[in-house]
Structure 1
Amino acid sequence: MSSLNIPQTCGVMLLPDCTLFPHGGLPLHIFEPRYREMLSDALQGSCFFAVARLTGKETKDPGRCTAPVGTMGLVRASRELDDGTSNLLLHGVIRVRFTEWLDSPYPKARIEPLPSVFEPESQAKAALEALHEASEIVTRELPDDVREALVAMTAQIDDPSILADVMAQQFLHNPDERQDLLEMESAAARVAWICKKFESGSPQ
C-alpha cells in the first residue's frame, strides 16, 4: 500500500446494491457518458476511481443518496469497444470515506483513506486459522475443482485483514451485510463477524 500514491480526490461510480472490498475484483461495463468521461480522466491520470453504494434514488447531491464509505479501486484492465463503451476490471485497493462531494460532470469526491490493520498482532495467527476454517466450511458444497482453487488462493494470504476482505468479496452476498462489513472500522471485528457468519456454511 505504501508504494501506491492514493489521490486526495477521485471519480466515484454510484451503484445500487454493489459493494467492492479491498483486494476484491469488480468487472464493470462503462456505458453512461458521465462515467465514460470519468474513466477517460482516470486512465489519463492515476487509474483510480472509487465505487460507492447507492442507498436510495440518486439525487443531485451524492452525499444524500450514497453510503459514506466505499472502496478506491485501481483499473487493472480496460478495453474500449467500437461503440465507445468499455469493459474493465477494477481491483479494490483501500476503504475510503467520502468527505466532500465536488462539482464535476461526473460524481467526484474528496476522500479520506481508511487503512485496515489487524490488532493485536499477537492474535493474527489465531485469526488466520479461524478464517481458514471458515473458508473450508463455506466452500465444502462447491465442486471440487472450484473449492480447491479457492482454498489454494486463501492459503497464500497471511494477513487476516486481507483474508477477511477477500472472503467477504467472494462469499458474502447480502448487500446490506456487505456494506455494514465494509464500514466496520476494526479489522479484528470484521474477522470475528466473518467467522461467525460462515461457521454455519451459509453466507446468505
Structure 2
Amino acid sequence: MAQGYVKAVELPQVIPVFPLPGSILLARGQLPLNVFEPRYLNMVDDAMAGDRIIGMIQPQAVMGRDPHPPLTRVGCAGRITSFAETSDGRYLITLTGVCRYQVASEIQVRTPYRQVRADFLPFERDLRGQEPYAGFDRPAFLDALRAYLEPRGLNVDWDTAEAAPPEALINSLSMALPFEPPEKQALLEASALDARAEALTALLRIDAAASDDDGPAMQ
C-alpha cells in the first residue's frame, strides 16, 4: 500500500504538476525539493491544504524559453511527507513517490501552476508495495556503478549498496544520478524493476566507456 492508496481510482483525477527537467520520482522513492518560485509556493500551499499530492514530470526538450513547454507523457505523483519553511520564505519539502501516471490531458486553470488530468491505471502495480527482483545480479551491477562513479570522483555508501533491497537501490540511483533528461525518462517509464535495472546498468556502462575514451592519451 503506497501512502494509503490501494487502487488507482483512489488517487485524485486532477493533480498539480511540477515540471522539472532532469528530475524524476519513482514509487516509494524520496525526492527533496527546494521550492522558491511564487507559483510553486502557491502549489505547495494548495497541496498541503488538500491531499498533499504533487505530480513530478519532465518538460519535453524544446528550443527557446517557452514558459509552458509541452510535458512528457509520463510522470510520477508524490505525497508531501516532509515540510519546512525557511526564514527567507522558501519551502523545503520531501515528496514520497506514490504512483506513476500518464497525462490524459492538461486542463485550463486559473492557478499560476499547471494541472493535468492523470491516468494512474496503467501503473497501478506501483501501489502494490516493493517490487521483488529475485534475479538481480548485484555484483555485476555494483561493478558497473563503480566504473561509472570513480572517473567522476563520486562515491556511495558501499555497505548500504551491498545490503539495500534491489528496488530501493535501483530506484534511488535512477533518481539521483545525473543522466540526461531523455535517459531519466526512459528509467521512469521502464515497465518493471528488472527492465529499469537493465536500462540503468546499460547507461552506467555506456557512460563509463565514454569517460574512458575521453581520458588523457598515453604517452
Q: Verify same fold: TM over 0.5.
A: yes
**Whole-angstrom CA distance in 1 between matches of 2:91 and 2:173:** 28
The aligned residue for residue 180 of structure 2 is 174
* Structure of higher CA gyration radius: 2
5+ long unaligned stretches in structure 1: 118-122
Three-state SS of the structure 2 residue aligned to 1:97 is strand
Distance 1:163 1:17, change over 3 A: closer
Deviation at 1:52, TM superposition (A): 1.0
State the SS of the aligned residue for 1:16: coil
Q: Secondary structure at the match of 1:168?
A: helix
Q: Of 152, 157, 161, which aligns to 1:147?
A: 157
Q: What's the counterpart of residue 134 of structure 1? A: 141
Calculate the TM-score normalised by the size of structure 2: 0.71
Structure 1 residue 112 and structure 2 residue 119: aligned? yes
> Could you tell me how far 1:131 is from its partner in structure 2?
4.3
From 191, 195, 198, give the equivalent of 2:201: 195
Secondary structure of the 1:50 match is: strand
Alignment size in residue pairs: 190
The answer as to 2:101 corresponding to 1:96 is: yes
> Percent identity, aligned pairs only?
23
> In structure 2, do the counterparts of structure 1 residues 94 and 28 end up closer, same or farther at CA, with 3 Å as the change threshold?
same
Listed as ranges, the matches of 1:2-13 within 5 Å are: 4-5=4-5, 6-13=11-18
CA RMSD of aligned residues (A): 3.1
| TM-superposed deviation, 1:42 | 0.8
Report the Cα distance in structure 2 between the residues aligned to 1:193 and 1:8, rounded to whole angstroms: 30
CA distance in 2, matches of 1:84, 1:147: 33
Q: 5+ unaligned residues in a row in structure 2: which ranges?
A: 6-10, 127-131, 211-219
